[in-house]
């Protein structure tokens, strides 16, 4: 695994715990509720808003159906690894989306923004694309087939009430634009967790994002067609149900595990969901789509996958979303 993710595994909680070990959730970082003030000290978890990120609406500040103490308890239990469960896959396969299927379940597989599409977009931004990738659909098919050839399962999802149903896919062009415009803010966030982008890496990623935005007909008009392209090339498809109730981002660095969303709902209630990012899986994904085999290229691709996940959270999520590291 490349060096920055080694640092991530070592330092995921270090910066946060050292900064403010007993800071209460502030009014800007937690929802208002009718519950009594917290009696439990709450470690300070960084929020998207601290980095000038979080343009969307998903997050605790916009909710009146949750209890503040329950939210704190959930964050602490997630950070302690209480809800980690084993997976068999080694690269992102299902989406970070906190929702479940109609039976209240999700496949137990590594998670990233858009499922396998995180590798597609992150790979593209990080330098894994080729001259043949003239459209988003072609890029999607090639990356998925490359992963399949190396023995990896791939997957995407929709939902029960919209054309696309996956925010990372539906807003892919907006996410590229967000990376181009907010690269320094995103880089500041990931730096807190041991991932350092050089100026050269930032420039290369921004240039590729800008090139794609300006490339006529690269992004498909019909966003569901990208989900279909993935399925046509062998990706599994999940149909999720309901609205977004995510209250934070579980940033998981325990190799071979993900977070049990159903268990979180069972313990705290159906309105308590989390985005789940299995960051430990990014290194293998980067290695397996790296066209050159060079370590520095694999590092850049893995960092770009990370940026795509942060940018997706920022486009969809509110600044009040806390990042809960699991090391």
pLDDT tens digits for range 236-272:
999 999 999 999 999 999 999 999 999 999 999 999 9
What residues have CB less than 8 Å from 277, skipping those under 6 apart? 96, 111, 112, 113, 249, 250, 251, 252, 309
**CB atoms inside a 10 Å sphere around CB 178:** 23
Residue with tokens 């937690």: 30
DSSP class per residue in 155-186: EEEEESSSSS--HHHHTHHHHHHHHHHSHHHH
pLDDT reported for residue 109: 98
Distance from the first to the final alpha carbon of the chain: 16
Contact 175, 213 (CB under 8 A): no
Q: Using CA atoms, how far apart are residues 96 and 295, in angstroms rounded to an integer?
A: 27
For the chain, give the number of residues: 327
Supply the DSSP symbol for 38: P
Tens of pLDDT, residue by residue over 25-80, are 333 333 333 333 334 455 689 999 999 999 999 999 989 999 999 999 999 999 99
CA–CA–CA angle 188, 32, 20 (5° rounding): 40
Predicted confidence at residue 93, as pLDDT, reads 98
Q: By C-alpha distance, which of 137, 147, 62, 77 is closest to 112? A: 147
Q: What is the pLDDT of residue 327?
A: 79
Q: What is the pLDDT of residue 41?
A: 53
Q: Tell me how far CA of residue 186 lies from CA of 1, 230, 308, in angstroms.
A: 22, 28, 10
Which pLDDT does position 8 carry in this prediction?
52
> Cα-atom radius of gyration of the chain, to the nearest Å?
18
Displacement of CA 19 from its chain's centroid (Å): 24
8 A C-beta contact, residue 4 and residue 191: no
DSSP-derived 3-state class of residue 273 = strand
Q: Is the pTM of this model over 0.85?
A: yes
Q: Do residues 90 and 257 lie in contact, with contact meaning Cβ atoms separated by under 8 Å?
A: no
Q: For the chain, which ranges sit under pLDDT 50? A: 1-6, 9-40
CA angle 45, 12, 176 (to 5 degrees): 80
């Amino acid at each position: 695994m490349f060096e920055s993710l080694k640092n991530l595994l070592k330092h995921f909680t270090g910066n946060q715990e050292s900064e403010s070990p007993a800071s209460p959730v502030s009014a800007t970082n937690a929802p208002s509720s009718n519950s009594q003030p917290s009696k439990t000290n709450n470690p300070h978890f960084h929020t998207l808003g601290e980095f000038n990120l979080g343009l969307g609406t998903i997050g605790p500040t916009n909710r009146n159906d949750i209890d503040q103490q329950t939210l704190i308890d959930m964050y602490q239990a997630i950070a302690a690894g209480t809800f980690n469960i084993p997976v068999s896959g080694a690269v992102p396969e299902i989406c970070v989306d906190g929702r479940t299927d109609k039976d209240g379940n999700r496949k137990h597989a590594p998670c990233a923004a858009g499922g396998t599409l995180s590798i597609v977009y992150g790979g593209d931004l990080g330098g894994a694309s080729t001259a043949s990738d003239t459209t988003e659909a072609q890029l999607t098919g090639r990356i998925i087939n490359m992963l399949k050839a190396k023995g990896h399962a791939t997957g995407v999802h929709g939902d029960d009430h919209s054309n696309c149903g996956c925010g990372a896919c539906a807003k892919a062009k907006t996410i590229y634009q967000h990376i181009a415009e907010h690269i320094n803010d995103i880089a500041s966030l990931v730096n807190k967790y041991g991932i350092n982008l050089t100026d050269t890496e930032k420039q290369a990623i921004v240039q590729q994002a800008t090139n794609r935005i300006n490339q006529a007909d690269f992004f498909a008009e019909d966003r569901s067609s990208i989900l279909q392209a993935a399925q046509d090339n062998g990706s599994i498809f999940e149909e999720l149900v309901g609205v977004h109730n995510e209250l934070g981002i579980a940033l998981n660095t325990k190799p071979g595990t993900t977070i049990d969303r159903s268990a979180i709902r069972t313990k705290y209630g159906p309105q308590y969901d989390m985005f789940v990012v299995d960051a430990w899986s990014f290194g293998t994904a980067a290695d397996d789509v790296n066209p050159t085999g060079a370590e520095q290229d694999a590092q850049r691709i893995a960092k770009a996958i990370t940026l795509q996940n942060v940018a997706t959270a920022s486009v969809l999520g509110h600044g009040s979303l806390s990042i809960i590291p699991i090391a």
